[in-house]
Structure formats: C-alpha cells, structure tokens
C-alpha cells in the first residue's frame, strides 16, 4: 500500500511518522505592518523543519517590525520587499514566485492589505505576487478590535472569501493597544495547522464523511468511582486527523483522554458506553465510513449508587449487565455503500478471535492487534496491526499510530472502490 503522508519531528503538534510532511512544497509568507509580525519567525521555523521551501515577502510596514535578516537566516532565501528589485540574472520576481508557490499565507494581514487585495490593487511586492497566484491563499487578519469590527473591513474580508481566499479568523484576547477584544493573530502552531491541512496530503477522501470512535468509556459505580480500561485514544485520534488531512469531513466520538483533539474535526465528547451508543447511532446514517477504534466497556453496573459507597469489612461484589453492542448494531443497520471497520484487541488467538468478530458483527474490516506484542496496544505511540477482511490478512510492521492510521485508510479506500 502506498504511504500518503506522514510527519516527523513536529513537536508543537503530536503527529509523528517517517517522512517530512511539507518536503518539496514552496510556501510564500507575506508579512505586513502589525505587532503580530513578531510571531511569524516561529512559524517560518516550523515550516523549514518540515523541509518546506519558504519565501518571505515583507511590506514596508512589515519591515518596521521585523527586518529581513531573521527570515533570511531561517529560510536561506532572500527576503523580497521591492517589486522592481534588480537581480542577476534578471527575473520578474512576483510572477516567478506566484508560479512556483504551493500556498501563500499573509500573516499578519493588516486592514490596509485586506482592502487593497479586495479591490485588486497591486502597488507593492506582496500584492503584486498575490494577484497572479493560482495556489491556495490564506490570510490571518490582525488589528485592533474596533478596526476589525468596522463594516468596511468586514466587507473587504467577505469579498476576499468570495474570491476563494481562506480566512483564518482572529482570536479574542489582549491587544497591543491595551484593549481586549477580537483582533489577535492566532499562535504559530494554529497557523501551521491551516497550512498542514491544505498541503499535507492528496485529498483522496474529499466529499466523504467519516466517523471514528476513540478512547475509553467510563461506567459509574457511584459518584466517585467508575469502571474503565487503559485506552489512551491515540489510535482513534490519529485516524481522525489522517482522514481530515485527506479531505474527509470527520466526526470524532471520544471518551475522556489526555490528548488534544485534532483540528478541523467535529468532536462529540461522551462518558459512558450508553452515551457512545447514542452518539454513534444518531450520526451513523450520514456516514460513508465508520471506524470503531474506541475501547468500549462490555459491562456496566446494574445500578449506580446515589452516594459514595463506604468501605466495610469483608468483600464486595458489583452486579454487572451487558452494554449495548455498537458494532453489531452498525452491522445490522448499515446504509447501502457504508463501510464499517472495527478494532480487535486480543491477548491470545488474535487471528481466530478477530475473524470470528468480523463475521459475527457483519462488518467489512477488522484492525487487530495483540497486547502481548511489543509496540502494540494501549498508551504507546506505536502499533502493530493486522488488517483482516473476508478475503485477506495484511500484517503491518511496527510503526507510529499516525502512520498506521494512514495505512488503514489506504486499505479502506482500496476495499470501498
């Protein structure tokens, strides 16, 4: 199976794998006059670490906040400021850059640059480069909250969106002028996520809706205690992010975890197995693909005490009852063309038990792993999966959960054709 896209060494967002995500991509960063310009060298450094070819264009206002030298040191490329700058050999810089750009981001985007571009004005190096660009163009407005709310500025931003520009909405917080309100440029890690979404992968899942479950459920015993398991949610979260990067519309139904959910994904938090059953069955009819990666409790207490159960002499037993079988319900109630994938965590007889589960649940694919195998199972950053369908078994070597997620999606798309 081909490896679509993975990432390595992005310590500001936990997606790790075997190749550099943005290698070979040419990214233009336009920096205009605003105090938020101080954040941009950090973003540029993140992109360079991913082996992107980064070119920075500074407006005259941008130079007042950040000089060219830091950007040139980070990128190894000359910072361009003058449309008519002469070089040897001669080159029409704004056209040459526009032709080779895979993405252009303006950050910070001042009210001035937004107004110019909304009205087709090209009077400096940045605006002259934007107009001939055929790649995705993102802009991150940053200004005082009163300027941001001005109806003229709002109309200009709407006009840019109408023409296909992608707006990264401003954050709310303390502004450089001392006011508090909407107008802050988001942090570099968030800007990076927008770039990653656009460039990371071939969008071979565009137009598809995918639901993935992740994490452990919690079955209450009393207001203090509950029954759960060791699932960290990392595998399900990796699948959600991988599908998002490949263009799918993703819904993540998740138990409580210690990891941040991936961006650009609809997150539905749940607590108990019953909560997850209701969330999944409500959303299932709209999904093209459902991947059940969560570790759902098979049993739940018959009754939940209203008060904390006090310790007493002697032993204690808790009567349990079966929880709803989500995967079996999906197998019986699937819509035409829907693809269903389950996970199987075993400690013995993995292939036999997983094949029996595949048939019993009436689904298309099982991603099986054995807790006894080094590198597989809960909490770790790696997994060792065997992809089991009615016709074949594909044994994957140990790899990061992010890479395993990509391999799993490759197989799902292959089978779904």
C-alpha distances in Å from residue 130, one per residue of 1, 280, 287 = 38, 44, 38
Asked if residues 368 and 383 have their Cβ atoms less than 8 Å apart, the reply is: no
Residue 177 is a catalytic residue: yes
- Residue 118: strand, helix, or coil: helix
Q: Beta partners for 339?
A: 289
Return the closest-CA partner of residue 200 out of 392, 50, 12, 319: 50
- Residue 123 burial (10 A CB sphere; 0-12, 13-18, 19+): exposed
Q: Taking the alpha carbons of 369, 390, 360, 410 in that order, is the dihedral positive or negative? A: positive
* CA atoms of 133 and 246, how far apart (whole Å): 23
User: Which phi and psi (to 5°) does residue 64 adopt?
Assistant: -70, -20
Return the closest-CA partner of residue 46 out of 78, 81, 21: 21
Name the active-site residue from 133, 135, 177, 341: 177
Contact partners, residue 191, CB within 8 Å, separation at least 6: 43, 105, 107, 140, 168, 185
Q: What is the DSSP string of 187-229?
A: PHHHHHHHHHHHHSS--TTTT-EEEEEESB--EESSSS-EE--
* CA atoms of 397 and 404, how far apart (whole Å): 9
Contact partners, residue 388, CB within 8 Å, separation at least 6: 344, 351, 354, 355, 358, 365, 366, 367, 368, 394
**Which ranges in 284-349 belong to alpha helices (H)?**
326-333
Tokens (6 digits) for 118? 């909304």
* CA atoms of 103 and 27, how far apart (whole Å): 5
C-alpha distances in Å from residue 324, one per residue of 253, 275, 296, 303 = 16, 10, 10, 16
The region, left, alpha or beta by phi > 0 then psi within -120 to 50, assigned to residue 36 is alpha
Asked if residues 190 and 196 have their Cβ atoms less than 8 Å apart, the reply is: no
Task: Supply the residues annotated as catalytic.
Answer: 177
């Amino acid at each position: 199976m081909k490896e679509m896209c993975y990432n390595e060494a992005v310590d500001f967002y936990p997606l790790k794998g075997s190749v550099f995500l943005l290698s070979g991509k040419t990214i233009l960063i336009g920096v205009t006059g605003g105090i938020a310009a101080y954040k941009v060298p950090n973003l540029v450094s993140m992109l360079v670490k991913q082996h992107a070819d980064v070119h920075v264009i500074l407006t005259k206002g941008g130079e007042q906040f950040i000089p060219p030298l830091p950007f040139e040191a980070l990128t190894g490329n000359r910072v361009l400021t003058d449309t008519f700058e002469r070089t040897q050999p001669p080159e029409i810089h704004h056209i040459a850059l526009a032709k080779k750009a895979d993405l252009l981001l303006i950050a910070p985007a001042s009210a001035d640059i937004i107004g110019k571009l909304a009205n087709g004005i090209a009077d400096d190096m940045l605006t002259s480069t934007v107009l001939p660009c055929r790649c995705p163009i993102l802009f991150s407005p940053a200004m005082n909250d009163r300027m941001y709310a001005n109806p003229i500025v709002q109309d200009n931003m709407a006009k840019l969106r109408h023409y296909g520009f992608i707006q990264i909405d401003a954050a709310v917080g303390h502004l450089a002028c001392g006011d508090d309100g909407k107008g802050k440029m988001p942090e570099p890690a968030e800007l990076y996520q927008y770039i990653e979404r656009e460039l990371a992968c071939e969008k071979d899942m565009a137009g598809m809706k995918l639901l993935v479950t992740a994490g452990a459920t919690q079955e209450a015993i009393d207001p203090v205690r509950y029954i759960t398991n060791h699932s960290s949610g990392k595998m399900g979260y990796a699948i959600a992010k991988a599908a998002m990067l490949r263009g799918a519309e993703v819904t993540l139904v998740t138990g409580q975890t210690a990891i941040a959910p991936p961006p650009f994904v609809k997150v539905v938090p749940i607590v108990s197995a019953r909560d997850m059953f209701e969330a999944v069955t409500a959303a299932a009819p709209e999904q093209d693909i459902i991947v059940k990666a969560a570790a759902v409790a098979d049993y739940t207490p018959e009754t939940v005490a209203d008060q904390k159960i006090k310790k007493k002499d002697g032993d204690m037993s808790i009567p349990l009852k079966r929880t709803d079988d989500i995967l079996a319900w999906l197998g019986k109630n699937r819509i035409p063309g829907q693809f269903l994938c389950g996970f199987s965590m075993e400690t013995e007889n993995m292939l036999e038990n997983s094949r029996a589960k595949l048939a019993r649940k009436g689904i298309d694919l099982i991603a099986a792993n054995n807790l006894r195998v080094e590198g597989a199972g809960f909490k770790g950053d790696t997994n060792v999966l065997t992809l089991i369908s009615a016709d074949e078994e594909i044994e994957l070597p140990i790899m990061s959960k992010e890479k395993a997620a990509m391999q799993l999606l490759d197989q799902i798309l292959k089978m779904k054709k």
